[in-house]
Structure 1
């Protein structure tokens, strides 16, 4: 008879998500940024900002999430990193 074995995967990093909460005063710039960052079409990027809050990146490392939030803030948008 074989013993049951359980394996626990230990991750040093918890997956993060980037959530857009407000496109700010320059929504066209935010749409372009979303297009570049996510690879979505411009149409899909525009539809994301019409349904806020919107998760634009999921399961990314903390550094990537923080970089995306910085870019969004520089474009005038409001965004945050969530776990």
Structure 2
């Protein structure tokens, strides 16, 4: 079995729902409210580092639902992926570890 790539959750804007976003960042990261607020104030920033595709997409969905702008970063091919673009074209994947069509971001959601 081939190991799955890890993904980061990149936050490029935090929107205007401050308290709700702080609570969501706390929920997806396990950080304190104070540290979560610091992350939101430091945008653009990485909110979640090196997690599985399913966990990363759930975090992105939750943040985007509150008006923030979050995307995925594949740690293997370094592509920034918007959830609206999933499944992505496997062609640009340049991972030395995984075939281009093996990336979870390239698979249809089901």
TM-score by length of 1: 0.82
1:42 paired with 2:29, answer no
CA shift for structure 1 position 11: 4.0
Aligned CA-pair RMSD: 1.3
Greater Rg over alpha carbons, structure: 1
Aligned partners of 2:52 and 2:38: how far apart in 1? 25
Question: 1:6 matched to which residue of 2?
Answer: none
SS of the residue corresponding to residue 8 of structure 2 reads strand
* Aligned-partner Cα distance in 2 for 1:27–1:12: 37
Q: Secondary structure at the match of 1:68?
A: helix
Deviations 1:28-83 (A, max 9, x none): 21111011111100000000111111111111111110111000011111100001
| Structure 2: gaps (5+ residues) | 75-110
**Which of 1 and 2 has higher RCO (CA within 8 Å, sep 6+)?**
1
Instruction: Measure the CA separation in 2 of the matches of 1:11 and 1:72.
Output: 30
- Structure 1 residue ranges (4+ consecutive) displaced by more than 4 angstroms after TM superposition: none
Where in structure 1 are there 5+ consecutive unaligned residues? 1-9
Please report the TM-score for the alignment, with normalisation by the length of structure 2. Answer: 0.63
Say how many residue pairs are matched.
74
